[in-house]
Structure 1
């Protein structure tokens, strides 16, 4: 928030008042050589005392005292109470010279010639003390006449009032500026929301009145209802965070997967439009293909995808298909490479998936990968370091730094992919409350075991770890990549392109 000019001027005025006010207390400061107090004062502050001391804040041997206005300087030996001990170097030199002189007609008695230290007693009047400690300043003229600055106390009161007024003015200006900024922000936000609503309504009208949208066909609700046998529960393929997916067969014989969104509200419409926009702009063999969608006028929002027949990676690792035929290591290795290939393509296209998990990695009849579910995906501009958004995704896969800071980057997908690699190695689910408390999240379990080199405790026994040298070496290498992907600080994680390159080297 940029502060207005008048607020900056008020702040400067407030600081100037504080600086000026500090002058009033300069005579009451403490000093390193604490025995030098009133009525002594520094040569730079003659108004603060009766006797001016040169070298006020220096060791004893370097200090000199002036007892009268423009009088000579004497060596100051000590001050004790109301007694000052001084030494006159000039007189000492004169007496020393006369002591050894052949001249016997001395002006002073011999008994006074030996000492070079003199003791003086002073008596400060009550008026002087009252002036000094009452907040006034002591001044003397050329005749050493004393007078007190009686206006000083009044000035001090004026300064206190000025400081208080300046502080209140500053706080008032700050409050007014904040209110102005808040009103402008709400106005901008309102304009943005109106623009977003208009854009959304335009998009809806485009879907409503056209036979295609973003280059994909518009299906009628009746046609898709018939393709799924009125959304027969027995045809359910999966149940995600945004809707249920059904198997269907179109009139032209194509097998499709139809996603039926749970609710038809503004948020679901946004996810609906988001997935359409992203998938129609992408073409990759390892990404699921979007065939079309329904019109806004239809009873429900439906998305039509190509049907991928062999279920999800999660099904084959720890789901219904896991017990039938566990995936062999070469297949798992290919799944890792193809998934990394799809994610690297997305990142190169400035898109973050934001929900990478084994439930969203589909397998065809030849066990080739099709990454699906782009409802949470976001465009990621090249000149941005992150996108600020409310954390989304699936527990067990969410980047901890993203979850704490609400800032998603391409490294958030890298973290989630690290969990996928741990699943491919272990066949364990990402979250399992049946495990020990510190190992409920597979990410924590994998990090702990990899860090202490216990790869055999992480690897699925069906893979033949420690029985097949090649499998052992490959599993260990992939586990080390997973360890890098699962680092808590995103700067420590490799990019998806780097992960892909490492996986291809291992595979080859």
Structure 2
């Protein structure tokens, strides 16, 4: 294939017309921001990239030339931006750069998606003429990459994580334009996230992406480095705001690579500006980034002067329609409307009533929920899952089946369907929405939305490729988890629980921490799921007395016996899961020798005899002995009888990471030593129906108050066994 010649001649004050001929191998030409004019030569219709933005071509010259191969909108993107100049139609615009889907942010700004394939000399304008983008510059080592996408990442420092999951990158000059804007002061907000230069400690973290930011031709930030602005973190949201005055009905945002930073770390061609989203709204809001290089007094004067041109939008924000005198067409339309109006009236009335019923149903379901989730239609989810095909079925619990689906925007999701016969599930449906809508963390599964139509209830989650932790640990032929991966899973689960207990704006106890409720993404990062049993309570409360619900084997004694619920109930469940991660077996297994049936009891035997490493999964050929002992020690602390003796999850994290010593545990918990354990079938028959009636998925409710001695002495399995 012959080598394609590239010419970047932008911003060179070139004048005159385009030459009549060009070199045949010249296929990429940037001539933006010059003074060119005149008719177009015939060669512009060849299969090439040609950027002529911001020249002096007139609408007549463009229309008279055979320029059908050029992207539309060139006449609107000349130096004076003539389209809608003097007759504005918009008072704002917002763009989600680099792909994905259009979204509405937490501050109710609607972002249009921008997913065009931009080459090294290209431009694009929306069909509505609201905004446009122009790119100039080629990554010499990555010629085909025009944007990057990292949809699996969570951004815990923002409420709008999805806004940062795609980004447009450029090797040189990237410009965005707001067109047809009403004149006045605007607040321009730019959203960034570094996706390629990742965190330490590897050499891949030493790269630097450095570029300048201009708004309305004024350099606002010099040598801007996204990762540095995020405190040295990658995959962290960074937001910068600026004021700009629109006086000629257009706004320009220019990101420019001035040749600084690194070129080849972590891979060849990692440099140039990157941006995730842009918005421009009327008026001056509180700035997060001051105008640099100006002293404080001058900034104050500038701000006061700028306020004089603030404005209240007076335009409709709707694209213009073509107005022509077509009397015959109008008459025909009126007659047609008259003929079908009666039929339409009944249809509209029916739809309005149906929508009112649907709205009332949603209002009833979502009553008390602060953040209302995105609502999918049932037909949309049915299409995504292939009409809930059995081939897409991922599993089924007491709540109902779960299906894999692909939405129209190509996101792969897990659709959780509430069984019509599950009356108890409706309250847990709302509880799950309320809980997970209030929290966001990289170790918690993400809720995309829900569906409520008639008696149909569905939840839509992110899809996690590697399914659940219990499948990876306990099922033959599944994933192989080496020890470093198991340790990181244990640490990730601890971080997710610590966020729920101590860091989120609402205090949450999950109540059903177990291996099957921990899902693994493509990189085997753990994400806690299934919040149907979660409880929210005030920070002033020491505990909640509630009906017991959860899974036998992971229930804390004070919760199982007295319904006494605190976050320490989750700590207990974490301790059991940690032992399962080390051993690769369930917390009870009747097929094993008698002293090994119950995992907690066996772990204590080995600990007391200083033989903890015998607990390690036989499938692990290599492991860190000290880390194994550390995890076992923490697990034994987490499963102490008294909640006060169990560490908080933040303390457990400190012990796992080596920031705190693991306290010694010297005696077995009381529930292992003080109870009579006998195989009585009476207890199970008396309580089996009660437990089954209170189950959710594999969760089992136990409402009986137990006593250390007396008539109804439970089996060991009722306290620490049979949970998966």
Q: State the TM-score, normalizing by the size of structure 1.
A: 0.55
Residue number among 406, 412, 416 corresponding to 1:259 in the alignment: 416
Query: What's 1:472 paired with?
Result: 625
Residue number among 361, 366, 371 corresponding to 2:518 in the alignment: 361
Q: Is the counterpart of residue 373 in structure 1 residue 526 in structure 2?
A: no
Residue number among 631, 634, 648 corresponding to 1:481 in the alignment: 634
Contact 1:243 / 1:262 at 8 angstroms: preserved in 2? Answer: yes
Q: Is the counterpart of residue 308 in structure 1 residue 464 in structure 2?
A: yes
Residue number among 497, 500, 508 corresponding to 2:650 in the alignment: 497
Q: Please give the secondary structure, in 1, of the residue aligned with 2:430.
A: helix
Residue number among 446, 458, 461 corresponding to 2:603 in the alignment: 446
Residue number among 443, 446, 467 corresponding to 1:286 in the alignment: 443
Shift of 1:506: 7.9
Q: Please give the secondary structure, in 1, of the residue aligned with 2:658.
A: helix
Shift of 1:320: 4.4
Query: What's 2:202 paired with?
Result: none
Stretches of structure 2 lacking an aligned partner (at least 5 in a row): 1-357, 662-724
CA distance in 1, matches of 2:378, 2:655: 46
Shift of 1:206: 1.6
Shift of 1:473: 1.1
Shift of 1:434: 1.8
Shift of 1:315: 1.4
Contact 2:366 / 2:372 at 8 angstroms: preserved in 1? Answer: no
Q: Please give the secondary structure, in 1, of the residue aligned with 2:456.
A: coil
Query: What's 2:326 paired with?
Result: none
Stretches of structure 1 lacking an aligned partner (at least 5 in a row): 1-200
Contact 1:313 / 1:358 at 8 angstroms: preserved in 2? Answer: yes
Shift of 1:362: 0.8
CA distance in 1, matches of 2:366, 2:660: 50
Q: Please give the secondary structure, in 2, of the residue aligned with 1:463.
A: coil
CA distance in 2, matches of 1:321, 1:402: 36
Shift of 1:405: 0.8
Query: What's 2:567 paired with?
Result: 410
CA distance in 2, matches of 1:370, 1:230: 27
Deviations 1:281-337 (A, max 9, x none): 111111111111112x33421100011111111111112444xx5211100011011
Q: Is the counterpart of residue 220 in structure 1 residue 373 in structure 2?
A: no
Alignment of 1:161-176 (within 5 A): none
CA distance in 2, matches of 1:464, 1:290: 37
Shift of 1:439: 4.1
Number of equivalenced pairs: 300
Deviations 1:183-228 (A, max 9, x none): xxxxxxxxxxxxxxxxxx9984427899x99342211222212221
Contact 2:414 / 2:463 at 8 angstroms: preserved in 1? Answer: yes
CA distance in 2, matches of 1:209, 1:344: 27
- Alpha-carbon RMSD across the aligned residues, in angstroms, is 2.7
Q: Please give the secondary structure, in 2, of the residue aligned with 1:461.
A: coil
CA distance in 1, matches of 2:427, 2:529: 17
Shift of 1:254: 1.1
* Bigger Cα Rg: 1
Deviations 1:333-384 (A, max 9, x none): 1101111000000001310001111111111111111111000000122121
Query: What's 2:387 paired with?
Result: 230
C-alpha spacing 1:238/1:505, structure 2 compared with 1 (3 Å): farther
Q: State the TM-score, normalizing by the size of structure 2.
A: 0.39
Looking at secondary structure, tell me which structure has more helix per residue.
1
Q: Is the counterpart of residue 335 in structure 1 residue 489 in structure 2?
A: yes
Contact 2:509 / 2:535 at 8 angstroms: preserved in 1? Answer: yes
Contact 1:396 / 1:441 at 8 angstroms: preserved in 2? Answer: no
CA distance in 2, matches of 1:308, 1:368: 10
Contact 1:474 / 1:506 at 8 angstroms: preserved in 2? Answer: no
Shift of 1:265: 5.5
Query: What's 1:270 paired with?
Result: 427
Deviations 1:35-69 (A, max 9, x none): xxxxxxxxxxxxxxxxxxxxxxxxxxxxxxxxxxx
